A and B are shown apart, each in its own frame.
Chain A
Amino acid sequence: MELTGAEIAIRCLQEEGVEYVFGYPGGAVLFIYDALFNQDKIKHILVRHEQAAVHAADGYSRSTEKVGVALVTSGPGATNAVTGIATAYMDSIPLVIISGQVSSSFIGEDAFQEVDTVGITRPCVKHNFLVKDVKDLAATLKKAFYLAKSGRPGPVLVDIPKDVSNMKAEFSYPQLTAIRSYNPPTHGDVAQIKQAAQLLLDAKRPMVYTGGGVVLSGASRHLLDLAHLLGFPVTNTLMGLGGYPATDKQFVGMVGMHGTYEANMAMHHCDVLLAVGARFDDRVIGNVQHFSQVPRKIIHVDIDPSSIAKRVKVDVAIVGDVAHVLGDLLAVLHGSKQKVDQAALAAWWKQIDEWRSKNCMVFKNSDEVIKPQYVIQKLHEITGGDAFITSDVGQHQMWAAQYYKFNQPRRWINSGGLGTMGFGLPAAMGVQLAHPGATVACVTGEGSIQMNIQELSTCKQFRLPIKIVALNNRYLGMVRQWQEFFHGNRYSESYMDALPDFVKLAEAYGHVGMRIEKPSDVEPALKEAFARKDDLVFLDFKTDQTENVFPMVPGGKGLSEVILAEDL
């Protein structure tokens, strides 16, 4: 059957089982929007800015493990999408972004709304394509979906010139033929896995450190089994939260710059470190030299060979899908006669419990002013610890990560790698659409929320009852905190003046707004907001202006050089 390029594109999305396309129309994608209009399988979510389209597709994907899809026009449509694409790339989120391009004959002529989209996005996509011939379109989209979700996932962009979307070709959705240059690993090397098992069994002070790879690979169950079999302590990175249940007694909290004292000390002092789907990021291990000065054996499991030995040297490298590798590792351990040295492990746990007894997450609550940590604790309580929490970037993000105890994967949705302010609200839209009945909260600040505040309009149009929990301290809090610590209290441009009245603003968009100024009002306000199942509620919490995030490993310092609130 002969179809136009636009019709082919939409048919391909249908064949891939796409439910939602997040997008914004424009000249170069008019034929594609026309094809969308003529069908009802795929629902289009009209955002108010292309960055939000990609974040929404991203939130949809993170909360479901499906591929998120965004559709934008050429030129500014594509450039607006770039921040969203880079965000997904840094966190390895599978997306397919379709961008319109000016007609083939205009390419290179500085045509209206022309930009070299493939060139601009090249460093922040897993791969991208410019479709020059309508006959290649279906095969290209098939490849795009396969590349996005296989191996280490990531965003893939397909740029379609306007004329290609209007030309006709015979359509049949192709089977995937192997891509000779692309062979993502699945199973890890057996000999390496055996070596890893031996190191783990010989360990005196073992530590398990896991990241976003566990969540992406769906390996939480394997991780829990492994940890329980061995009795080892487990920490998660910011991206890995929920990959291991936070309320499990072997969980020592988040690791890294704002991780717990016990997690950071255990990471630093362990003698065998099992790193799974994590990449020794600078926000995780701090100063590399400081980290590496302690002799310890490192086992690194990752699907991406280039993540291994990038920042730290490792002793056993296992390239493979985390779920497969952990499954194989479990089998080897089950089959082994040797058992873990229980005496050494007990001594190690005694040490860890000593670190734990510092109670590094305790904060001084107040009757006068709302403490941000308190808001998150109450949020956790009132939502039964079972909500989808998206966040923006800054102090509120760290408090959400620290105080909302995630017990399941894909519930904590934040921009870990790129640190994109403005991510939270559009991501929450994608999450809410993917889980219509679920409780979705966006933890944000008065700075971040304004970076994509226009999406309140999208939320109204599609009746998305997101709860916005804004920790409003009238500062760009994390910037202010760093200025306090490292720039002599000179708060250069970090104070937010002339803030809008968020209650009125929410109302202007047709939502419910609440302002909360007293600690005693926190709980009732949250209860009321979450009881309103059909409404978007904007909760504007006026919080303590000068609260800092602790513990804190200052930039350039080592994990054992962590500063606690009590140190100051």
Chain B
Amino acid sequence: MRHIISLLMENEAGALSRVAGLFSARGYNIESLTVAPTEDATMSRMTIVTSGSDDVIEQINKQLNKLVEVVAVMDMNEGEHLERELMLVKVRAEGAAREEMKRMADIFRGRIIDVADQFYTIELTGAGSKLDSFLQAIDRSLILETVRTGACGIGRGKRILKL
């Protein structure tokens, strides 16, 4: 099953490689991994999207906790949570397709952030599945380039990952 695991770690050089190395060394999947500093400059927050059986996910959580630089780990799937991902898509937008592309972007609550003669660049945010749906909804042959950040997650309401 797909899990979103969030963790806080010391903002030290090499901390990312410890996490990435752990996943490859133990044969765990990584669907996506994002990392950025938090409001506390000494800590980074990482979101890992992975998949595996319950046993594997349990091991992943334990192994992450075992890393000396990892401050806290939360498996988002253990409770209510929100998931968001940002995607930028560059599409061919000419003739009739130009208007159609604008409509599709509106339907998916996307924004056109760059307009050129033949191209649009569309910004979309949402759960990964919504971004997938957008890519399926438009004419595939018009897609020139996509770039996605990978998911980040946050608990709903009182679920807070903080030191």
Contact = CB atoms under 8 A, between A and B. Distances in A.
Interface of A: 118-119, 122-123, 126-127, 130, 147, 179-182, 304-306, 309-310
A130 B68 contact: no
Contact of A181 (B62, B63, B69): B69
A179 to B, nearest CB: 7
A432 B10 CA distance: 41
B63 to A, nearest CB: 5
B163 interface: yes
Given A127-B68, A130-B13, A181-B70, 12 more contacts: A119-B14, A119-B17, A123-B21, A123-B25, A147-B68, A181-B10, A181-B68, A181-B71, A182-B68, A304-B66, A305-B65, A309-B58
B14 A130 contact: yes
Contacts, number: 38
B71 to A, nearest CB: 4
Contacts of A130: 13-14
Contacts of A127: 68-69
B9 interface: yes
B38 interface: no
A119 B59 CA distance: 23
A119 B14 CA distance: 8
Nearest to A308: B62
B103 interface: no
B55 interface: yes
B18 interface: yes
Interface of B: 9-10, 13-14, 17-18, 21, 25, 55, 58-59, 62-63, 65-66, 68-71, 163
Contacts of B9: 181
B13 A310 contact: no
Contacts of A122: 14, 17-18, 21
B62 A306 contact: yes
Given A118-B14, A119-B17, A122-B21, A309 B71 contact: no
A306 B14 contact: no
B72 to A, nearest CB: 8
Nearest to B72: A181
Contacts of B13: 130
Nearest to B12: A129
B163 A179 contact: no
Nearest to A306: B62
Nearest to A126: B68
Nearest to A313: B55
B6 to A, nearest CB: 15
Contacts of B25: 123
A122 B55 CA distance: 25
22 contacts: A122-B14, A122-B21, A123-B25, A126-B68, A127-B69, A130-B13, A179-B68, A181-B9, A181-B10, A181-B68, A181-B69, A181-B70, A181-B71, A182-B68, A304-B66, A305-B65, A306-B59, A306-B62, A306-B65, A306-B66, A309-B59, A310-B59
Contacts of B69: 127, 181
A180 B11 CA distance: 13
Nearest to B18: A122
| Most chain B beta carbons < 10 A, residue from A122, A127, A179, A181 | A181
Nearest to A156: B68
Nearest to A307: B62
Nearest to B65: A305
Contacts of A309: 55, 58-59
Contacts of B21: 122-123
Contact of A306 (B18, B63, B70): B63
Nearest to A181: B71
A122 B77 CA distance: 29
B66 A180 contact: no
A181 B65 CA distance: 9
B57 to A, nearest CB: 12
A305 B62 contact: yes
A126 B66 CA distance: 9
A130 B21 CA distance: 17
B18 to A, nearest CB: 6
A182 B66 CA distance: 8
B7 to A, nearest CB: 10
B46 to A, nearest CB: 13
A122 B62 CA distance: 18
Contacts of B163: 180
A30 to B, nearest CB: 26
A219 to B, nearest CB: 22
Nearest to B55: A309
Contacts of A181: 9-10, 68-71
A103 B21 CA distance: 26
